[in-house]
């Protein structure tokens, strides 16, 4: 029998959590029951204390926890909402609090303004889903000058002050979509691309990878154009209708962004469900159902929990001047045949 001590998990009492988190028992009760009127950083501290007690971990706190702020686009679909929840629940062992804020979708001026405001809020480091716009780039470089490091997540931004990006290789994701479309569609014909907006570098990288792989390996397929739907369900439904009117006989559609529901509806409007190959991104409850009922053929997926954990770890390491290289989050391929056990988000 091993002489090693066996750690038996225990259930944390409200009073213990309150003592370690430095809050009242009423606040702990509100957090544990998911009630409102609790600041994000307080909620984070309570959950960290609970985790430490139940796991037997020791809270290793600096003089004060680092304050991290994350900006994600609002009304950007279930994957982004899930990512926000992942950020709020990353366990930092007491080293940081994480506040996730949603900014107006596809509005670079709003994102730039919110980034700059961090300088007056005592924020130590920032993570953000980037919009590829000079105003956003200027705000990031201004924060860098104030020793507030920034890291883009999900969608990258090119700037000399940004050392790391946390997310998937989006060019590879686009090439993966092209590989499956090219192998599964053997006859010659046309395919179309739906994009949210060129402000998202991950969208443009996916499209670039998709187009380049088709040109290189699958010349029997020709991309007829890129239709912009702004990741909006109703807009996607309209632009797919236009695409079908302008290109009868279309063989496939690759959606590099969100709003898959609108594309599925547009194909159903024309009784083309299952007739036109549809590849999209991110496994959610809706895209899972689309795979199962044949509305979609393939989902290119990125693990949002992993992105949140990598981003927080990288920001903390940067603040503590420790070497740390964020891992590239793998490109996953989900079909209805391997969907059991696949993680949403």
- pTM exceeds 0.85: no
Per-residue model confidence (pLDDT) at position 5 = 46
Q: Region 189-201: what's the mean pLDDT?
A: 93
Are 149 and 315 in contact, with CB atoms under 8 Å apart?
yes
Q: Dihedral angle at the C-alpha atoms of 223, 229, 233, 237, nearest 10 degrees?
A: -60
Burial environment of residue 4 by CB neighbours within 10 A (0 to 12, 13 to 18, 19 or more): exposed
* Residue range 281-312, pLDDT digits in tens: 999 999 999 999 999 999 999 999 999 999 99
Per-residue model confidence (pLDDT) at position 57 = 62
Are 236 and 243 in contact, with CB atoms under 8 Å apart?
no
Per-residue model confidence (pLDDT) at position 338 = 95
Q: Which residue has the tokens 């009117």?
A: 245
Q: Report residue 232's pLDDT band, with 50, 70 and 90 as the boundaries.
A: very high
Are 42 and 31 in contact, with CB atoms under 8 Å apart?
yes
Per-residue model confidence (pLDDT) at position 101 = 92
Burial environment of residue 262 by CB neighbours within 10 A (0 to 12, 13 to 18, 19 or more): buried
Q: Could you give the C-alpha distances from 277 to 105, 198, 218, 292, 293, in angstroms and in order?
A: 28, 23, 15, 14, 13
* Residue range 37-81, pLDDT digits in tens: 887 767 877 887 787 777 766 555 555 789 999 999 998 888 899
Per-residue model confidence (pLDDT) at position 323 = 87
């Amino acid at each position: 029998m091993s002489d090693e001590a066996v750690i038996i998990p225990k259930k944390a009492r409200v009073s213990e959590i309150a003592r370690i988190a430095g809050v009242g028992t009423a606040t702990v009760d509100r957090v544990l029951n998911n009630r409102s009127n609790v600041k994000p950083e307080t909620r984070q501290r309570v959950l960290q204390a609970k985790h430490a007690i139940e796991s037997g971990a020791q809270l290793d706190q600096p003089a004060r926890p680092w304050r991290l702020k994350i900006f994600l686009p609002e009304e950007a679909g279930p994957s982004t909402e899930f990512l926000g929840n992942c950020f709020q629940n990353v366990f930092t062992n007491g080293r940081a609090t994480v506040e996730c804020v949603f900014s107006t979708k596809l509005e670079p001026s709003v994102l730039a303004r919110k980034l700059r405001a961090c300088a007056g809020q005592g924020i130590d480091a920032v993570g953000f889903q980037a919009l590829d716009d000079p105003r956003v780039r200027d705000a990031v470089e201004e924060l860098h000058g104030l020793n507030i490091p920034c890291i883009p997540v999900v969608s990258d931004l090119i700037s000399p002050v940004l050392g790391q990006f946390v997310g998937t290789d989006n060019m590879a994701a686009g090439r993966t979509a092209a590989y499956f479309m090219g192998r599964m569609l053997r006859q010659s014909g046309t395919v179309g691309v739906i994009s949210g907006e060129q402000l998202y570098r991950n969208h443009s990288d996916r499209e670039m990878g998709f187009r380049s792989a088709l040109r290189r390996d699958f010349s029997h397929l020709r991309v007829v154009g890129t239709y912009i739907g702004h990741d909006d369900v109703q807009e996607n439904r309209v632009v797919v209708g236009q695409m079908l009117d302008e290109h009868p006989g279309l063989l496939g559609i690759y959606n590099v962004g969100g709003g898959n529901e609108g594309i599925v509806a547009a194909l159903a409007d024309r009784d083309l469900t299952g007739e036109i190959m549809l590849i999209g991104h991110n496994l959610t409850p809706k895209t899972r159902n689309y795979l199962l009922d044949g509305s979609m053929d393939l989902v290119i997926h990125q693990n949002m929990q992993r992105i949140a954990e990598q981003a927080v770890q990288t920001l903390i390491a940067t603040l503590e001047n420790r070497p740390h290289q964020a891992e590239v989050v793998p490109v996953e391929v989900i079909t209805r045949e391997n969907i059991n056990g696949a993680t949403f988000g």
